[in-house]
Amino acid sequence: MRLLIIGRLNGELVTASKIAMSRGAAVTQADGVEQGLGVLRAKGADLVMIDVGLPIRAFVTALGEERIRTPVVACGTGSDARAAVAAIQAGAKEYVPLPPDPELIAAVLEAVAADARAFVWRDPAMERVVTLAEQVARSDASVLISGESGTGKEVLARHVHAKSSRAQKPFVSVNCAAIPDALLESELFGHEKGAFTGAVARRIGKFEEASGGTLLLDEISEMDVRLQAKLLRALQERVIDRVGGAQPVRVDLRVLATSNRNLAEEVRKGSFREDLLYRLNVVHLRLPALRERPADILELAGHFARKYAEVNGVPARPLSAEARRLLVTNPWRGNVRELENTLHRAVLLASGAEIGPEAIRTPEGDALDGPVGTAARAVQTAEAVTRSLVGRTVAEVERDLILDTLDHCLGNRTHAARILGISIRTLRNKLNEYTDAGVPVPEPGQARAIAAYG
């Protein structure tokens, strides 16, 4: 856990720094915003704590302009309520009052240092995957982790890192599907000042930020083929070239990659390099879908029920026998992510001493009544949808499907592309076409605007 404290280490900030170090954080200090930006460009960090008296809005804006995604927490005297509100409005994720409470500091560090989802399993199918993962964890071999969306590929990657000899070094993750092709190269390899418009200073990339530790290339199948060639050289030679740089930079790290696609099939299509697949696929960990590991369903359900009871400050309740039956028989097409969201809702909706089947509901509030009822509703819905499509062109149907899916994902293009089964690149091209035609397209975090279009 790498913590950057921005502000002069007087009194309370010294105490906060000591608490963080006692909890295992590696602490770096910068006196002001410019010095802090320099540290982030040169070394990176997992969390920034900044004095509330400094220009937080300008700092957060600068992070956005340089595409530095490190979360920011403001800190200041507990009596300064207006400053706390202003800090949150300026873009800080949290406000920590000073003098610091050790447990509060620990909670903030824990929330950032690890994925909130614990690594929980019981099914023999999952046991085989975990056993193989732990056998290879201490090596430096590249590992490819595949599986459907929501199966927990990043959680398994973090587990491999935690069991490796690099566990005390950084774990850095980059989502290849969420970053435009034009920016992904500098995100991975860094850039020199003036390399392109907006490159206001030298900045290290994820390869250098993960030095000594582990780099996770999440959804690597979405990476452009041209960039794959540069990645292949980095993996083979352990040398990278910053964008605009004149000298190669040597790196020491372990690379993990995830994909929800069949990369061998992508090679046949010509969208993924065969030599890169061989380089990544030294060890292949295939995560089974949740429906293929039924013993994990109740284990995970119990974990999520306890977790969200604590998060929401409600009594922890066991699952009733009928609720457990309902959970086991559901197909869980969204895998662990869908199960987690369902249990979160159940914790909020449950009443009485147990979580009963009446609390196990879909996001729309409908009852989750097992595969038989689901199949019957699916047939009825399919018939209704088919009737509604008559008289419309294929292009119109495709447009509405894409925009409705994007609306369902609140503008998150990566999630929408996964649901639609297309690449993020194809989705962007379609959305650009719709925008040029005057069709409203939701931005990330927004629902679709209601508008009439032909």
pLDDT digit of tens for each residue in the chain (454 aa)? Answer: 788 999 886 777 788 888 888 877 888 989 899 999 998 888 888 889 998 889 999 999 998 888 787 889 988 876 667 888 888 888 888 888 887 777 777 777 766 654 444 688 889 999 999 999 999 999 999 999 999 999 999 999 999 999 999 998 999 999 998 888 888 999 999 999 988 887 888 899 999 999 999 999 999 999 999 999 999 999 999 999 999 988 999 999 999 999 999 999 999 999 999 999 999 999 999 999 999 999 999 999 999 999 899 888 899 999 999 999 999 999 999 999 999 999 999 999 998 899 999 999 998 888 875 554 444 445 555 555 666 677 778 888 889 889 888 887 777 888 888 888 898 889 989 999 998 888 888 776 555 544 433 3
436: in domain: yes
382: in domain: no
- Do 180 and 265 fall within a single domain? yes
Q: Residues 1, 109: contact at Cβ < 8 Å?
A: yes
Q: Residues 6 or more apart from 438 whose CB is under 8 A from it?
A: 453
- Do 67 and 207 fall within a single domain? no
Residue 296 C-alpha from the chain's centroid: 22
Q: Residues 335, 149: contact at Cβ < 8 Å?
A: yes
Q: Residues 301, 339: contact at Cβ < 8 Å?
A: yes
- Do 269 and 307 fall within a single domain? no
- The alpha carbon dihedral of 151, 154, 158, 163 has a sign of positive
- Do 101 and 133 fall within a single domain? no
- Do 135 and 224 fall within a single domain? yes
Q: Residue 188 is encoded by which pair of tokens?
A: 């991975």
The count of domains in the chain is: 4
235: in domain: yes
What is d(CA 129, CA 151) in angstroms, rounded to the nearest whole number? 12
- Do 142 and 280 fall within a single domain? yes
Q: Residue 3 is encoded by which pair of tokens?
A: 């913590």
157: in domain: yes
Shortest CA distance to 125 belongs to which of 327, 284, 294, 261? Answer: 294
Which pLDDT value is given to residue 118?
61
Q: Which residues pair with 146 in a beta bridge?
A: 259, 286
For residue 319, give its domain range. 293-371
pTM equals: 0.65
What is d(CA 356, CA 306) in angstroms, rounded to the nearest whole number? 15
Q: 171 by DSSP, 3-state: which?
A: strand
| Site of tokens 């200041």 | 76
What is d(CA 61, CA 85) in angstroms, rounded to the nearest whole number? 17
Residue 36 belongs to a domain with what CATH number? Answer: 3.40.50.2300
42: in domain: yes
Instruction: Give the helix/strand (H/E) hosting 204.
Output: none
What is d(CA 70, CA 74) in angstroms, rounded to the nearest whole number? 13
Query: Of 340, 371, 402, which closes a domain?
Result: 371
Which pLDDT value is given to residue 437?
87
- Do 171 and 211 fall within a single domain? yes
Query: Of 237, 270, 286, which closes a domain?
Result: 286
- Do 83 and 146 fall within a single domain? no
Query: Of 371, 402, 419, which closes a domain?
Result: 371
Which pLDDT value is given to residue 184?
93
Residue 250 belongs to a domain with what CATH number? Answer: 3.40.50.300
What is d(CA 368, CA 361) in angstroms, rounded to the nearest whole number? 5
Q: Residues 325, 283: contact at Cβ < 8 Å?
A: no
Residue 433 belongs to a domain with what CATH number? Answer: 1.10.10.60
Residue 316 belongs to a domain with what CATH number? Answer: 1.10.8.60
Q: 452 by DSSP, 3-state: which?
A: coil
- Do 273 and 147 fall within a single domain? yes
- Do 143 and 251 fall within a single domain? yes
Backbone φ and ψ of 421, nearest 5°: 75, 25
Q: Residues 6 or more apart from 435 whose CB is under 8 A from it?
A: 441
DSSP structure class, residue 79? T
- Do 402 and 359 fall within a single domain? no
266: in domain: yes
118: in domain: no
379: in domain: no
Tell me the Cα Rg of the chain.
24
- Do 137 and 242 fall within a single domain? yes
